[in-house]
Structure 1
Amino acid sequence: MASILTNNSAMVALQTLKSINNDLSKTQSMISTGKEVASAKDNSAVWAISKVMESDVKGFKAISESLSLGESSVAVARNGAETVTDLLNDMKEKIVASQGENVDRTKLQADVDAITDQIASVVGAAQFNGLNMLSGTDSVNILSSLDRGSDGTVSSSNITVARQDLSTDAGVFGTGTDLAANVATTLGGNIAADGTGDAFSNGANVLGATVAGTVTIGETYNVQVAGETVSFTTTAATTANLAEGLTAALNTAGIEDITASFTGSVISISSTSKFDDVEVNTSGNGAATFALQANNVTAAVGTTASQTIGSRASEIAFSATAGVADGDGYRATIGGVNFDYVAGPGEIFEDVARGLKTVIDGAGVENISTNVKQDETTGAWVLQIDNDGAVQSLVEAGAAGGTATGGLVGLDKLDVTTDEGTEAALANIETYINTTIDAAADFGSSQGRIETQSDFISKLTDSLKSGIGALVDADLEETSARLQALQVQQQLGVQSLSIANQAPQTILSLFR
């Protein structure tokens, strides 16, 4: 049926042309924006996913900047610690030189003081954007990652870098838990555990060797002291002759820190060894025996006997099982003067013992010397304190809740102008060097981790961008081909509509 009111062909052609124009508009939009999904109306699900991922990409950009800042801060700290290590090695050279007698110790002291000042300058200047990781003990958190869970929750991750305090600050002794009264961390050794104190021995520790039994002329007897053996062949058949002869042999041998005397048949072997125990052994080819007695304990009696003369120094022994917490302070009170060391994060009792040693040495107390050792049986670290002067009391104490002592405490008090000072300086410089080496190593490890994380974040960000592109970017090769096709379809659609619109014209011929 022909009609001038309804032109179905034109309507079909018009709808087709509208569809073509709509597709052409979308294609032109994809070409102009480069995106297949440019807004939520294009594909709401894909658009939502892409926007979440885009927000993550922006977050990772901030993380990358944080890692760059953190890496620079740690690099400055590492360079600072390495520089301090080099300076301490230079200082060690001066300290070693001061061990000689025919040297100008005053000039060497001036060099040591100059290096100390330079170290202080390096530590103070080793900051980046105001952050100095060579001062203080609080750890620094560097933003390292943004983690999105399967439920959509987001959390951040950090790389924690521990500060390495290379200052000479004394720290602050705490008022918290009494560590000396705590069974798990009791300070022991020959220091009174109740804190009432002991007096230094000052003099010699003595071992008595009582000669007994039958002595025959021409018999040879031996006494081994500190690994050195002396012998005496009897010239009279008396225990006194044997005691006198071995005493003379011991004194003639010139064993360091060892002297001997006798009364009747008793030999008294005296040791002024500060820090080392002295082992004594006896033997002989005769019938006489030696009863060795030290520390009020009598050894077995026979032709061969052994005993040990304990070191003269008093001792503070630290727990072999307990741990050390940040702020735990340990104190040695010598003659009423307090010497404190307060532990920092991650320290162990070896650090405490060596730190307390440097504090005491740095005070330059006359006739006081120190040593650190580890008990071979228990594994506990022990601080030995010897006094070679007037009698003084020694009291130990411990308390939690303090402010940590600087890792180079006592460095500014090294004294190489005296024999005692050079000896202490040589022992303590190794502690300082090890402290800075450990600090540089920790910073190096942290810097390497930050670099690895930074590289990962860069690659992850690229992967996310690529993923977002795969979701929303238009395939321009396909889009270009489609544009040409749609343009041809548009031309055909226009022609089809034109033809359809001409159909009513034929109706006019019916009325002619």
Structure 2
Amino acid sequence: MSSILTNNSAMVALQTLKSVNKSMGETQSQISTGMRVASAKDNSAVWAISKVMESDVKGFKAISESLSLGESTVAVARNASETVTELLQDMKGKIISANESNVDRNKLQTDIDALTDQIKSVVGAAQFNGLNLLSGSEDVNVLSSLDRANDGTVSSSDITVARQDLTFDAGVMGTGATLGGNVAATLGSNSLAGVAGTEFSSSGNTMTVQLAAVTAGASNTYNLQVAGETVTFTSAASGNTADSVAAGLTAALSAAGIEDITASVATDTITITSTSKFDDVEVNLSTSDSAVTANVNGGGAGGAGAGFTGETIDSRASEVAFSATAAVSEGDGYRVTIDGTNYDYVAGKNETFEDVANGLKTVIDGAGLDGISSKVTYDSANSQYVLQLDNDGADVSLAVDGNAGGTATGGLSGLDDLDVTNDQGAAAALTNIETFIDTSIDAAAAFGSVQGRIETQSEFIGKLTDSLKSGIGSLVDANMEEVSARLQALQVQQQLSIQAMSIANQAPQALLSLFR
């Protein structure tokens, strides 16, 4: 049936043309924007995923900038630490020269003061954008990553940069919990006999050697070894007594001139006195006299004809021993009081009792106390660090204490107190400079390590950002080759649809022939 009111062919042709035109519009949009999914209506799921990933990309760009800032800040601190190390090494050379006898120590001190001022300048200037990692103890966090979990929650990750305090700041003792139980002082006056009170003095420690049952004749040989040096006495052919042998050994020991060793005799007893500051002195006795006995400090050491071995005169120095089991926390302050004057060191982050002992040594040495010298040792038998303090002058009091909650001492505190104009100061500076050099080397190494980590993370973030961009592109970007081919096909379809539309519209005209 033909109708002039309803043209089904034209309607079909029109719908086809509309469909082709719609597809052509979408294709042209993809060509003009370059995107297959340009809005949520194109593909809501893909669009949502791409927008989340795009937000992550923007976040990672900000993280990359944070890493660049952090890397530059750490690089400044590392370069400054390395410069400080070089200046300290130059200073060490001056100090070594000052320990010679034929140099102008005042000129060397001037050079050391100039190097100290330069180190202060380097530490003070080692800032980037107002942040100085060589001052204080608070850690700095550098934003390093954005982590998205499977459930969509987002968290950030940081790279922690530990400050390395290379300032000259003196610590401030806290008023927190008492730490006196972590440190104890042992007075260095004759530890064999023991001395009451709180004084430590310049008198030496002694050992008594009492001889008995000496063979009257036979020209026996007696070898007395003190501090690694041996003196020999040969008794007479006859008429020998314990008194005469003791006197002969004492005379031989006195004539040997062993450093820090003196001897006296009373009847059959030899008293050996050692003023060795920091080293124990070993005493041994051997003899060909098969009858002699030797009692050391009344202890009956040795048997007939045997003498004795391995007896020790303790060093003269007093000892400040630190706990072998307790930990050191930031702000823990320890105090040594000498003759009523306090000398404090407050620990920084991650420090140990070795650092505390060395810190107290530098503070005490820097005070330039007349006759007071110090040394830090490790007591392997008790697994603890010990600060030895020796006194060459009048007796003075010694006390120790500690409290938590203080402000940490700067890593180079005491450097500006080095004094090489006298023998005692030059000797102390030679040991203390090593502590300062170790501190600056540790700081430079720490900064170098974290700078390398930041660089690695920055490279990873760059690659990750590129991967995310590539992934977003694969989701939303248009395939231009495919779109171009589709456009050509749609153009042909559009022309055909128009032609079909034209044919369909001409069909009613055929009905006119029926009315002629």
Q: Same fold (TM over 0.5)?
A: yes
Contact 1:197 1:394 in 2 (8 A): no
Aligned to 1:232: 233
SS in 1 for 2:180: coil
> 1:376-402: per-residue Cα shift (whole Å, max 9, x none)?
212200001111111111110011000
Q: How does 1:5-84 map to 2 (within 5 A)?
A: 5-84=5-84
Q: How does 1:333-348 map to 2 (within 5 A)?
A: 333-348=337-352
Contact 2:126 2:134 in 1 (8 A): yes
Contact 1:209 1:292 in 2 (8 A): yes
Contact 1:30 1:36 in 2 (8 A): yes
Q: How does 1:214-253 map to 2 (within 5 A)?
A: 214-215=214-215, 216-235=217-236, 236-253=239-256
Aligned to 1:165: 165
Q: Distance in 1 between matches of 2:452 and 2:287?
A: 65
> 1:72-95: per-residue Cα shift (whole Å, max 9, x none)?
000000000000000011111110
Q: Distance in 1 between matches of 2:299 and 2:19?
A: 111
1:254 CA displacement: 2.1
Match of 2:508 among 481, 494, 504: 504
> 1:141-160: per-residue Cα shift (whole Å, max 9, x none)?
11111111111111111111
Aligned to 2:471: 467
Q: Distance in 1 between matches of 2:44 and 2:303?
A: 98
Match of 1:478 among 476, 482, 485: 482
> 1:164-216: per-residue Cα shift (whole Å, max 9, x none)?
111111111011110113xxx3435459xxxx972113210001111122334
Q: What is the percentage of aligned positions where both structures have the same residue?
A: 67
Q: Distance in 2 between matches of 1:230 and 1:370?
A: 31
Q: Distance in 2 between matches of 1:481 and 1:336?
A: 96
> 1:325-375: per-residue Cα shift (whole Å, max 9, x none)?
000001000001000000000111111100110010011111111100000
AA of the residue aligned to 1:93: G
1:257 aligns with 2:260: yes
AA of the residue aligned to 1:9: S
1:217 CA displacement: 3.9
Aligned to 2:285: 282
Match of 1:427 among 407, 413, 431: 431
1:187 aligns with 2:184: yes
Cα distance change on mapping 1:165 and 1:484 into 2, 3 Å? same
Aligned to 1:405: 409
SS in 1 for 2:316: coil
AA of the residue aligned to 2:479: D
Contact 2:142 2:160 in 1 (8 A): yes
Aligned to 2:86: 86
Contact 2:88 2:437 in 1 (8 A): yes
Unaligned stretches of 5+ in structure 2?
A: 189-195
Q: Distance in 1 between matches of 2:466 and 2:251?
A: 87
SS in 2 for 1:425: helix
Question: Which shifted more, 222-231 or 29-38?
Answer: 222-231
TM-score, normalised to structure 2, is 0.95
Please report the RMSD computed on the Cα atoms of aligned residues, expressed in angstroms: 1.6
1:461 CA displacement: 0.7
Q: Distance in 1 between matches of 2:83 and 2:398?
A: 38
Cα distance change on mapping 1:197 and 1:42 into 2, 3 Å? farther
> 1:448-487: per-residue Cα shift (whole Å, max 9, x none)?
0110111111111111111111111111111111111111
Contact 1:197 1:395 in 2 (8 A): no
Aligned to 1:133: 133
SS in 2 for 1:202: coil
